[in-house]
Amino acid sequence: MPQRRINFEMMDDAELVRRAVRREALAIRTITTLNNQRLFRTAWSVLRNHADAEEVVQEAYLKAFNSLETYGGQSSLSTWLTRIVYNAAIDRHRSLKRRHAGLQQQDVAILDEHHSRYSPESMPMSPEAELIRKQFSEFLKSVIARLPDDFRSVFVLRDIEGMSVTETAEALQIKEATVKSRLFRARRDLRKDLELKFETVFTDTIAFAGADCDAMTNRVLAALEIQP
């Protein structure tokens, strides 16, 4: 009798964690695939740099997968991972600020930021429409990047990722009232530049899917020395 195929995507967090602790490649791949985009967007909301955000997410995954036994289930696995990535991004941001300050004190030019490798997920459309879509997405990304740090993270998690107020508060370790007030002010600031409905225009912004998503998952599996 053929063995029944296991559907990892239908598993609850507790079962996925149990299997990931046992270093089951499909469990780890499922966790990363389901969370890659949210975690990338979270890191980007702090760092505003594609390469730095990718690196932080990868490092945070390794930290998380090596300490899964500490996951107690008080919040969802996604929220738990988001909190780890956010804290890691904050640490990286502070480190970069100290490094830049040191370079300025020494009158050394600050290194140029890495060129973003951001590329919206391909869609069946004309070359002209694709160009317009890409330019508009980049414009939105630049507008969001200009938000103050605290507002940007809340905005990305609430309006782009669709996390609840409670989930966002848990991930960022702030009060729910603070989430609401920061989101209100972020939306208010964005409305100065945009006359569009937030629910329909940000879906493709700060994309992290396709080849980027697969590459992140494969790097995490390789770093954990697990065969895919």
Counting residues of the chain whose pLDDT is more than 70, the rounded percentage is 75
Contact 69, 90 (CB under 8 A): no
Residues 152/41, Cβ–Cβ less than 8 Å: no
The Cα–Cα gap between 85 and 58 comes to 9
What's the N-to-C CA distance of the chain in angstroms?
26
Q: How far apart are CA 35 and CA 37, in angstroms?
A: 6
pLDDT at residue 77, rounded to an integer: 96
Domains of the chain: 7-119+207-228 (1.10.1740.10), 126-206 (1.10.10.10)
Q: Quick one: how far is CA 114 from the chain centroid? A: 18
Q: How does residue 117 score in pLDDT terms, banded at 50, 70 and 90? A: very low
54-63, 93-102, 110-119, 170-179: which has the minimum mean pLDDT? 110-119
pTM above 0.85, yes or no: no
Kindly tell me if the per-residue pLDDT of 123 is higher than 50: no
Whether pLDDT at 132 is above 70: no
Contacts 24+ apart (CB under 8 A), 3-7: none
In whole angstroms, what is the distance from residue 23 CA to residue 63 CA?
14
Find the mean pLDDT for residues 209-223: 87
